[in-house]
């Protein structure tokens, strides 16, 4: 565990991120993402590129993993800093049969860390694939 206070700050944001995903809490996620953040994936052979105005309503509409009794399957793999106000976290989480690897880019603005980009890949659990 790093003694760098920025590390603990990012870990705290990631805890809220995982909670927001597990509970399909678009309001919580909306506080973490910068309004101009992007959401992108190319796993299925074409680009999915959404703005927060497109992504957050999708989260709000879907049944949460918590409501379906799914266990939490999330973890932080790495956190790197590119300077005092820029960071990248690599995390894993799961929703239903999809196992995600998220590359989360952070910027520190107005004294707090905000997600500016979520670029991810997913795999299906073998029982579903």
- The pLDDT assigned to 126 comes to 76
Report pTM.
0.93
In a domain, 20, yes or no: yes
| Residues 82-113 pLDDT 10s | 999 999 999 999 999 999 999 999 999 999 99
In a domain, 40, yes or no: yes
Host H or E run for residue 6: helix 5-22
- The pLDDT assigned to 125 comes to 86
What is the CATH number for 70?
A: 3.10.450.50
The total of structural domains in the chain comes to 1
| Residues 17-48 pLDDT 10s | 999 999 999 999 999 999 999 999 999 999 99
pLDDT of 1 higher than 60: no
In a domain, 13, yes or no: yes
In a domain, 129, yes or no: no
- Domain encompassing residue 97: 5-124
- The pLDDT assigned to 58 comes to 96
């Amino acid at each position: 565990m790093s003694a760098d206070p920025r590390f603990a700050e990012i870990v705290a944001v990631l805890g809220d991120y995982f909670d927001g995903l597990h509970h399909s809490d678009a309001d919580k996620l909306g506080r973490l993402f910068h309004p101009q953040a992007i959401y992108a994936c190319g796993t299925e052979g074409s680009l999915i590129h959404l703005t927060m105005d497109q992504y957050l309503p999708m989260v709000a509409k879907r049944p949460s993993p918590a409501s379906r009794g799914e266990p939490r399957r999330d973890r932080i793999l790495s956190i790197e800093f590119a300077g005092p106000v820029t960071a990248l976290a690599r995390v894993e989480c799961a929703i239903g049969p999809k196992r995600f690897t998220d590359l989360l880019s952070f910027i520190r603005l107005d004294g707090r860390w905000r997600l500016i980009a979520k670029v991810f890949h997913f795999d299906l659990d073998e029982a579903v694939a």
